[in-house]
């Protein structure tokens, strides 16, 4: 009979260096970034959150793949028209406000750049933080440029721009339920805006972590993960814009 | 909000306070149990609904206590909610979110899930979704009647029937919330499996339960987004005047419909693109549990571990390519139908491989017949029975007479409504000692097994005959068609069998709760099983392994290894002389 | 316990198999395509039946034969050759069955009988009745607009037949479907409101009627008699009572019946 007691091999924790089968650090719930014994485990947490984001982007892609395939299929679909006694294609290409949307695209791309700068800035801050804590030591850059804040402003700018674009559509006579094509325009842009707004909330939370005196590592993880999400949102927007512009 | 904040030398105490510990716990074990009890509440709701359905079918004029007579539209609401609650809140919840949450981290040697806060949120979001779903019963018009598949234009037009108003909207909103909850859960499962395995726990040393949960999570990750898209489009059609699914020129009860240009088939494509992976989500965890239990209780490694893994991966992959077999009669292109049909037959192959391997595991083993094993054996039998009606429906020419008849009802109930449920029962009896520190009663367990096994066959086998005879499904009663009259005795037999079998489940519930309080105290490894959950204390401490990190040296099913001193080698046992 | 399991599994297997074969469940088939469909069902049935018996009886046998009697266990992680063998055999069986049956599907869906010889028929489903329309002597269906329909009036009005259309003047609309025996029927299926499904078990015929689509199918009844129509797609509270009747009569009787309908229209 085997012993029923635990037969474990105890391994002392040692600094990680990647690989899937290594000794795991016990993950920390919530935003608490303090290492157990001083060894930085936030690098591992960062990796884990990045992995989580990559996984989480897959269903968002599926959502927009579904909308896209519905869009493409619907475009080519005939529907039985009683008056004509035949299948008729009733697709009405939407006159989207291209110039306005182009400006919005530029705003979003610039915000992606500022987001990336904010991401690298917070990475630097996290690296220097243990040293910056030492009294009397200065690591320079006492008043860092508010790239994060600028990103938030640009993000809001994009959302306002989208709202203006919807108003422009209405002026041109395309409301949500005007035609199947207009429904898709509102649907695709609206769903994207919703996801982007989520990203803005994450950025606001990241900005607030400094006020709430959370450790710099936690802040860095939020900004890093949100930055990748933000870049994905920019790419997604470019895709949607191209779809609506060239596959009307 | 700190949890899992651990120092290596000693286990960290669980957070204090009733709310932190039991309501908004971040501990995957508590969350797993919360999901399990949600599913338990759901399954009893769903069973009760099916009982009312079966009674109405054979006695349409019956006056029931409290409910009075059941009108045809109410029957259809019962049916819709029965299907929805069972598929979503039982079969997508208990095997995956229930047992998976509890045991995935432990079986891979992790102290918790990758994102404990997200885990807690995903449970409570599921809970909210369930409440919204149940609310549909209580609003004016009542619960929707368009089936769990919710095909437009019936589901898109409030004029098309009672319950298709606010009740239908609540249904769609509930499902949309459920999609969000599932996606959160899937994210957690995948990240945990990829990133938190202990040293030595390579992917090919994971128990097959972990593989099942992992693949199920991938299926959920990719499928629920599509359902969410479909739900959003349906909500827009219903409330914002769009016409994704509703064509023009329709008139319902004399009321002209103002929509124009949509396609009902679009819903079917989106829904079934989700719906088919969904049924594999429902069955894969059960397959994992069956593999684990058949190996443990035969004292023999699983036959063909690698093949089992590849089979599950194939099922997952092919599962995304066969959705059209739900739509052979829908008016879709017959060329597509042929393609879907070949792929559907192909997906039968990995399922067959798994069945052969289960039989191969039993062969020349040394079988112990405790209750978990009975349910695992029952799972195999039911999976075979339910699976073999698939090749009939997969061939479009045979699907012509059988589509939307009781033959289909037999098929999916035997697989989902019994085999997958047996997977949940098997997991319960097997893991109960670890979760609650006590044994369930063997006597009651065996009684529960035999009554349920025989009862389930008595309910669902005859449905094949009804389908062959042309008995359509989703009929509230069979009084109108002459050719159905000779089939009524079969329906009566099924109803009696259902009443008995549903009653037998009370034995299980009694056993479950009584054993929690009064069951014989369980040791650490009552089944002499090899996987990591059996090296923890019973029940496991907050961080699962008491402050130490397990190191894995063996595969998951090393039973009866020649030359070993015991007939099982724990995964963390020191390395022995090379065997395989 | 091993014996109990063996007996229960074997008993369930034998009893359910008995009822599959001993009782005639399938309705008598009376259409041209039915024998082919029934044949495909039979060979699938035999193949799956054999697998069913082998798997269940094998399972029952194994759990009894290998019950714990203190015997030595054969330690094994599997057998790759066996895996390859049964995988290949299963694939051949399943995909083979499918390919063997595919000409039947093709005949059902791809090959249409010559229009000149077929009876033109339109079947419209609505909550909760079936209406059948014949094009009349001009062999042309007139224009219908569901938005102009009046269900309470029945017949032509229920379909919304446009009385100003000359092609519609001779269209005949009935609530019972009369068909001549041994003649191909070219049927168009449509729906006014939700999805219905036109299902005649005796013809082995089923097709969804989808709003927004005009779906062409064909079948050929080969025996005189009355056959029930059932709706086979959930369409609302009246789904269970949305039924109809097909009366297949001799060609002469059909012509007589048509003449009567045409006379009524004068």
Cβ atoms within 10 Å, residue A204:
13
Q: Give pLDDT tens digits for A103-120.
A: 999 999 999 999 999 999
CATH number of C119-265: 2.60.40.420
pTM of the model: 0.93
For residues C147 and A82, the answer to whether their CB atoms sit within 8 Å is yes
User: Tokens 């004016």 appear where?
Assistant: B140
Q: Give pLDDT tens digits for A220-231.
A: 899 999 999 999
Q: Give pLDDT tens digits for C196-232.
A: 999 999 999 999 999 999 999 999 999 999 999 999 9
Q: How confident is the model at residue B363 (pLDDT cuts 50, 70, 90)?
A: very high
* pLDDT of res. C31: 95
Is A62 in the B-facing interface, judged by CB distances under 8 Å? yes
What backbone torsions phi and psi does residue A31 show, to the nearest 5 degrees? Answer: -110, 10
For residues C257 and C178, the answer to whether their CB atoms sit within 8 Å is yes
Is C108 in the B-facing interface, judged by CB distances under 8 Å? yes
Q: Which residue of A has its CA nearest to C211?
A: A80
* B371 contact residues in C (CB cutoff 8 A): none
For each of the domains in chain B, give its residue range(s) and CATH number, in order of start.
28-535 (1.20.210.10)
Closest among B22, B89, B2, B19 to B49, alpha carbons compared: B89
* B550 contact residues in A (CB cutoff 8 A): 8-9
Q: Helix (H, G, I), strand (E, B), or coil: what is residue B526?
A: coil
Q: How confident is the model at residue A139 (pLDDT cuts 50, 70, 90)?
A: confident
* pLDDT of res. B428: 97
* pLDDT of res. A141: 65
State the SS3 of B232-247: HHHHHHHHCCCCCCCC
Distance from CA of residue C9 to its chain's centroid? 33
For each of the domains in chain A, give its residue range(s) and CATH number, in order of start.
42-133+144-246 (1.20.120.80)
CB within 8 Å: A82 and C212: no
* ipTM, 2 dp: 0.96
User: What residue ranges do the domains of chain C occupy?
Assistant: 2-67+79-109, 119-265
CB within 8 Å: A11 and B266: no
Tell me the percentage of chain A whose pLDDT exceeds 90. 52
Is A85 in the C-facing interface, judged by CB distances under 8 Å? yes
Task: Answer yes or no: is pLDDT of B305 > 50.
Answer: yes
State the chains in contact with C (3 or more Cβ–Cβ pairs under 8 Å). A, B
* pLDDT of res. A26: 45
CB within 8 Å: B483 and C233: no
Q: CA–CA distance from B130 to each of B28, B81, B127, C219 (Å)?
A: 20, 11, 5, 46
Residue of C7, C35, C53, C62 for testing the chain B interface, max B β-carbons within 10 Å: C62
* C213 contact residues in A (CB cutoff 8 A): 80
Q: Of the segments A126-130, A202-206, B508-512, which one has the largest average pLDDT value?
A: B508-512
Q: Would you call B127 exposed, middle or buried from its count of C-beta atoms within 10 A (0-12, 13-18, 19+)? A: middle
Chain B: closest CA distance from residue A140 (Å): 33
Q: Give pLDDT tens digits for A148-184.
A: 999 999 999 999 999 999 999 999 999 998 888 999 9
- Of residues B283 and A218, more confidence is placed in B283
C residues 241..260 contacting B (CB < 8 A): 241, 243
Q: Would you call A47 exposed, middle or buried from its count of C-beta atoms within 10 A (0-12, 13-18, 19+)? A: middle
Is A26 in the C-facing interface, judged by CB distances under 8 Å? no
A residues 89..118 contacting B (CB < 8 A): 90
Q: Which residue of A has its CA nearest to C146?
A: A82
* B572 contact residues in A (CB cutoff 8 A): 6-9
Task: Answer yes or no: is pLDDT of A85 > 80.
Answer: no
Provide the Cα torsion B294, B298, B302, B303; round to 10°. Answer: -110
- Encode B465-493: b = buried (16+ Cβ within 10 Å), e = exposed: bbbbbbbbbbbbbbeebebbeebeebbee
DSSP state of C92: H
Q: What residues in chain C have per-residue pLDDT under 50?
A: none
- Of residues A143 and B221, more confidence is placed in B221
Q: How confident is the model at residue A17 (pLDDT cuts 50, 70, 90)?
A: very low
């Amino acid at each position: 009979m085997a012993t029923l007691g635990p037969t474990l091999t105890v391994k002392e924790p040692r600094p990680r260096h990647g690989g899937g089968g290594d000794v795991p650090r016990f993950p920390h719930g919530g935003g608490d970034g303090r290492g157990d014994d001083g060894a930085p485990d936030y690098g591992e947490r960062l990796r884990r959150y990045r992995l989580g984001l990559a996984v989480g982007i897959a269903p968002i892609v599926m959502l927009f793949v579904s909308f896209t395939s519905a869009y493409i299929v619907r475009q080519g679909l005939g529907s039985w028209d009683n008056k004509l006694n035949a299948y008729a294609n009733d697709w009405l290409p939407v006159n989207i406000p291209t110039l306005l949307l182009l400006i919005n695209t530029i705003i979003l791309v610039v915000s992606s750049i500022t987001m990336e700068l904010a991401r690298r800035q917070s990475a630097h801050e996290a690296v220097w933080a243990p040293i910056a804590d030492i009294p009397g030591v200065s690591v320079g850059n006492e008043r860092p440029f508010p790239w994060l804040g600028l990103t938030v402003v640009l993000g809001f700018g994009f959302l306002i721009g989208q709202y203006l674009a919807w108003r422009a559509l209405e002026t041109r006579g395309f409301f949500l339920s005007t035609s199947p094509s207009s429904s898709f325009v509102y649907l695709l842009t609206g769903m994207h805006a919703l996801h982007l707004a989520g990203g803005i909330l994450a950025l606001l939370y990241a900005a607030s972590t400094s006020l709430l005196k959370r450790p710099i590592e936690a802040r860095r993880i939020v900004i890093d993960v949100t930055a990748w999400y933000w870049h994905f949102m920019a790419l997604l927007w470019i895709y949607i814009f191209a779809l609506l512009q060239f596959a009307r | 909000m700190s949890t899992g904040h651990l120092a290596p030398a000693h286990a960290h105490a669980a957070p204090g306070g009733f709310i932190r510990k039991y309501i908004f716990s971040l501990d995957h074990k508590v969350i797993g149990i919360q999901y399990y009890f949600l599913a338990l509440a759901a399954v009893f709701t769903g069973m009760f609904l099916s009982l009312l359905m079966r009674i109405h079918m054979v006695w349409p004029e019956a006056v029931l206590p409290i409910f009075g007579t059941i009108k045809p539209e109410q029957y259809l609401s019962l049916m819709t909610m029965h299907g929805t609650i069972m598929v979503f809140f039982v079969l997508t919840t208990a095997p995956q979110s229930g047992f998976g949450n509890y045991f995935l981290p432990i079986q891979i040697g992790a102290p918790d899930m990758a994102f404990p806060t997200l885990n807690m949120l995903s449970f409570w979001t599921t809970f909210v979704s369930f409440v919204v779903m149940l609310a549909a019963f209580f609003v004016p018009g009542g619960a929707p009647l368009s089936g769990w598949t919710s095909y437009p234009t019936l589901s898109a037009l409030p004029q098309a029937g009672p319950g298709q108003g606010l009740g239908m909207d609540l249904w769609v909103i509930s499902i949309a919330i459920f999609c969000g909850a599932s996606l959160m859960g899937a994210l957690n499962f995948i990240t945990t499996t990829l990133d938190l395995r202990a040293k030595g726990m390579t992917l090919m040393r994971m128990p097959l339960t972990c593989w099942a949960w992992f693949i199920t999570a991938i299926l959920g990750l990719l499928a629920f987004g599509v359902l969410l898209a479909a739900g959003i489009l349906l909500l827009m059609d219903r409330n914002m005047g769009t016409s994704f699914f509703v064509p023009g020129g329709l008139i319902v009860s004399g009321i002209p419909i103002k929509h124009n240009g949509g396609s009902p088939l679009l819903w079917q494509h989106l829904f079934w693109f989700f719906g088919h992976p969904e049924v594999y989500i429902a069955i894969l965890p059960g397959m994992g549990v069956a593999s684990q239990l058949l190996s443990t209780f035969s004292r023999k490694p699983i036959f063909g571990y690698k093949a089992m893994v590849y089979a599950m991966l194939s099922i997952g992959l092919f599962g995304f390519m066969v959705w059209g077999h739900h739509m052979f009669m829908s008016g879709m292109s017959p060329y597509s139908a042929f393609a879907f049909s070949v792929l559907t037959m192909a997906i039968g192959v990995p399922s067959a491989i798994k069945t052969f391997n289960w039989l191969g595991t039993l062969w020349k083993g040394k079988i112990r017949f405790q209750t978990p094993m009975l349910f695992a054996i029952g799972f195999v039998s039911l999976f075979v029975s339910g699976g073999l009606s698939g090749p009939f429906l997969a061939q479009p020419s045979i699907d012509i007479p059988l589509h939307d008849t009781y033959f289909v009802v037999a098929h999916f109930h035997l697989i989902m409504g019994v085999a997958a449920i047996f997977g949940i029962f098997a997991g319960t009896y097997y893991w109960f000692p670890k979760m609650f520190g006590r044994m369930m009663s063997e006597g009651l367990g065996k009684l529960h097994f035999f009554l349920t096994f025989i009862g389930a066959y008595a309910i669902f086998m005859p449905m094949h005959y009804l389908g062959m005879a042309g008995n359509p499904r989703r009929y509230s009663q069979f009084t109108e068609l002459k050719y159905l009259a000779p089939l009524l005795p079969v329906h009566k037999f099924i109803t009696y069998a259902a009443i008995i079998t549903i009653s037998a489940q009370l034995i299980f519930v009694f056993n479950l709760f009584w054993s929690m309080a009064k069951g014989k105290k369980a040791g650490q490894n009552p089944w002499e099983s090899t996987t990591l959950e059996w090296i923890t204390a019973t029940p496991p401490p907050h961080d699962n392994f008491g402050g130490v990190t397990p190191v894995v040296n063996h595969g998951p099913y090393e039973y009866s290894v020649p030359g070993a001193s015991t007939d099982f080698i724990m995964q963390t046992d020191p390395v022995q002389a090379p065997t395989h | 316990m091993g014996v109990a399991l063996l007996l229960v599994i074997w008993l369930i297997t034998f009893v359910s198999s008995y009822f599959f074969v001993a009782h005639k469940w399938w309705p008598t088939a009376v259409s041209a395509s039915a024998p082919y469909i029934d044949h495909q069902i039979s060979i699938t049935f035999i193949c799956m039946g054999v697998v069913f018996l082998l798997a269940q009886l094998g399972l029952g046998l194994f759990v009894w034969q290998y019950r714990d009697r203190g015997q030595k266990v054969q330690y094994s992680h599997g057998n790759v050759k066996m895996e390859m063998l049964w995988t290949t055999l299963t694939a051949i069986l399943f995909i083979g069955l499918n390919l063997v049956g595919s000409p039947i599907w093709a005949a059902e869906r791809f090959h249409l009988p010559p229009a000149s010889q077929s009876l033109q028929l339109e079947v419209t489903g609505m909550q909760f009745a079936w209406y059948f329309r014949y094009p009349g002597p001009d062999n042309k269906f007139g224009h219908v607009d569901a938005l102009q329909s009046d269900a309470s009036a029945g017949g032509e009005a229920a379909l919304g037949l446009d009385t100003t259309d000359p092609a519609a003047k001779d269209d005949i609309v009935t609530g019972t479907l009369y068909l001549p025996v041994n003649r191909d029927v070219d049927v168009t299926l449509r729906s006014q409101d939700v999805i219905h499904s036109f299902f005649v078990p005796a013809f082995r015929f089923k097709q969804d009627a989808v709003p927004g689509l005009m779906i062409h199918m064909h079948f050929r009844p080969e025996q005189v008699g009355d056959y029930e129509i059932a709706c086979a797609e959930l369409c609302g509270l009246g789904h269970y009572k949305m039924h109809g009747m097909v009366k297949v009569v001799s060609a002469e009787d059909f012509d007589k019946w048509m003449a009567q309908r045409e006379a009524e229209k004068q």
